[in-house]
Structure 1
Amino acid sequence: MRDLTFPEVMQEMFTERWLSPKTQTSYAGPIALFRRHIGMEVLPSEVSRKDVLMWRSAIVTSPRNPSGIEESSWNNYARHLKAFYRFGISHELIPIVSSPFENVFLREKKRGHKTLRETDIVYAREALEICRRYEVVRCEPAPLHPAWFWQVVVETFYHTGIRLNQLLNMTPNDIHLKRRRLIASAEGAKNKSEAVLPITEDLYPYLAKLMTAAHAAGFKRHDQLFNVNRFSLRHRRETMNVWQVEGFFNRLSRYCGNRVTPHRFRHSLATDLMRSPGRDIFLTQQVCGHTDIRSTIGYVAPDLATLRRYLEQRHAASHLDDANGMPDRGSPRQGLPAPVGRSN
């Protein structure tokens, strides 16, 4: 049995599993952090469970370490290293019996999905429209350039809830304006499943504008469709990447006064669909592309206004009882037998 180093095991895993560059990075990051903690020369087979627990204590937030990482971040690190060790052990690359990363997960704090406020959408649209008009009138780049292109990006996220990587992998061949449908490819999906989504009436003019511009720019059917570099006077890359999109949303967030991201559009869409009167959990699952319906169920939560009305029913019911002559609920002894006293 061989006894390989961390980089050697990692390379074997990347080669055999045919992992995408982004997935490779998701493994390489936690492994690099762990190696810096235990020492760069330590082999995977030399790591003990105690080493793992000491690393967890050193980096997870606590009274002693208030600036540490959240439990969810730790679980993400542990999940990747657990998979790393399982691969190495099963392929006889790490000569140990069990992984030191087994059963080291922490219970995460339950927080709601981060969604966008209605005002965030309003401010985002206003900022982009102002920039678009500026570029038309002044014939020079606005702060959010090219504004018309980013309008298409924002509206696509708003109306479809697709993931950022699905947007980046979309081609002209994936947009069917006559059939009013678009294809979110399997390459960009988290579950590696292709999704076919309708093009709504409000989204149609934006995608039509993008397709017209792509045709005029000489796009081929399998070129990257959402590629700001083909329409911009500032950008010079061959293809649009995650950093360019995130850079735009960072600038847009400053105009909105709140964090605006592609994933928050996704959470907002799922939340709105599950709060609507005609909500359908299975249709929402199809829109979001969830493999496990439990992911969709996580969005089933009433808003504060609904909860407030529900709680206020109690007060209204109390007044109704009083009006019908029911006993006062505020007096617990009313209607009960008199207490038994001692005889004189």
Structure 2
Amino acid sequence: MNQPIDIPETLSTAIEQFLRYIQVERRLSPVTVENYHRQLTALAQMMVAMNICEWKSLESQHVRMLLAKSHRSGLQPTSLALRFSALRSFLDWQVAQGMLDVNPAKGIRTPKSGRHLPKNMDVDEVSQLMNIDLKDPLSVRDRTMLEVMYGAGLRLSELTNLNISDIDMNEGEVRVLGKGSKERKVPLGRKALEWLQNWFPMRELYAPEDKAVFISTQSGKRLSVRSVQKRFELWGIKQGLSSHVNPHKLRHSFATHLLESSGDLRAVQELLGHANLSTTQVYTHLDFQHLAKVYDAAHPRAKREKS
């Protein structure tokens, strides 16, 4: 097993400054900041192995060598694109700060990868997953999380960051702080509201330390992202679902089911908090047979004459 390579200050200092910048000024999520940290650290270690110990010494051919080395190490195209994106953004920032004259990663492309379409659960699978009773507060909390995630189409970080003040039970909506600190309001739905009403009185039994909606029944503290992932996975197994259950899959199921019923891509874009419609088009993918049925039923030129 290879020992990790120590990174000299001539490389690490700029990485630390950049991470503070995206965390404090750009207000990117902790998960995104950690991804940048991991990718830039890996690149810096490879640079040291290539005897490059200053960012200003990095040239275009070196960037290509870093990508080739990452590819040979088994990095998949999607992960390779993520690593290169982190490097390019970091070098752009250095240019803006006057640390570099030019970005040596400009004009270099990563290998194209096939578009990954997230999988969703069908309505029956969602109903099977949600078939959790009122036996204990832990089950009630988990059922409420599942209902809110599916009912409002939240991101995982948005779910864990929810505070009591974000929930408007009278209006039946939730205020969400999404990517880039953009705020949006999303309807919760009848079932999510019902289970929030079940959970709130039980929540007080654990002397919560903050205003988080979802807390640990052991510590009273806000639930972590990893804890939610584990609970969702556990319920998928308990409820006998054949596919792996995770928060992203529930968010995608929310979007897909809405789009299948309404066909309103713009509305789904707003509910999901996507800045670009192209993101929604991939994220709320409909199979071609469904689109063909809609087209055949609705378009004047598609309707076949009866014989």
Unmatched 5+ residue regions in structure 2? 1-7, 298-303
Residue 5 (structure 1) aligned with residue 14 (structure 2): no
User: Which residue of structure 2 aligns with residue 69 of structure 1?
Assistant: 75
Matches within 5 A, 1:19-98: 19-20=27-28, 21-39=30-48, 42-60=53-71, 68-94=74-100, 96-98=101-103
1:15–1:312 Cα change, 3 Å: closer
Larger radius of gyration: 1
User: Match for 2:222: what amino acid?
Assistant: T
1:198 and 1:122, CA in 2 relative to 1: closer, same or farther beyond 3 A? closer
Task: Tell me how far apart the structure 2 counterparts of residues 5 and 261 of structure 1 sit (CA, whole Å).
Answer: 40
> Structure 1's 179 and 24: CA in aligned 2 closer, same or farther, altered over 3 A?
same
Contact 1:49–1:100 at 8 Å: present in 2 too? yes
Correspondence for 1:174? 166
Answer yes or no: is the 8 Å Cα contact 2:206–2:220 preserved in 1.
no
The C-alpha deviation readout for 1:117-151, integer Å capped at 9, x for no partner, is 4454244224x44xx54x5xxxxxxxxx8111100
Equivalent residues of 2:208, 2:221 under 8 A apart: no
Provide the rounded CA distance (Å) in 2 between the counterparts of 1:172 and 1:53. Answer: 49
Please tell me whether the aligned partners of residues 148 and 188 of structure 2 are also in contact (alpha carbons under 8 angstroms). Answer: no
Q: Give secondary structure in 2 for the equivalent of 1:113.
A: coil
Equivalent residues in 2 for 1:129-168 (5 A)? 129=133, 132-133=134-135, 135=136, 146-168=138-160
Structure 1 pair 246–97 and aligned structure 2 pair: CA distance change class (3 A): same
State the one-letter code of the partner of 2:244. Answer: R
- Point out the more displaced range, 290-299 or 191-200: 290-299
Asked if structure 1 preserves the Cα contact closer than 8 Å seen for 2:252 and 2:284, the reply is: no
Equivalent in 194, 197, 205 of residue 194 of structure 2: 205
Alignment map for 1:121-132 (pairs within 5 Å):
121-126=126-131, 128-129=132-133, 132=134
Number of matched pairs: 286
Which residue of the partner structure matches residue 224 of structure 1? 212
Q: Secondary structure at the match of 1:115?
A: coil
**Deviation of the 1:283 alpha carbon:** 1.7
Question: How far is the alpha carbon of 1:107 from its aligned partner?
Answer: 1.8
CA contact under 8 A between 2:67 and 2:84: conserved in structure 1? no
Q: 8 Å contact 1:78–1:101 — kept in the other structure?
A: no
Distance of 2:235 and 2:204 partners within structure 1 = 28
Percent identity among equivalent residues? 17
Letter of the structure 1 residue corresponding to residue 78 of structure 2: S
Once the two structures are TM-superposed, the CA of residue 154 in structure 1 deviates from its matched residue by: 0.7
Look up the match of 1:340: none
3-state SS of paired residue (1:183): strand
Counterpart residue type for residue 206 of structure 1: W
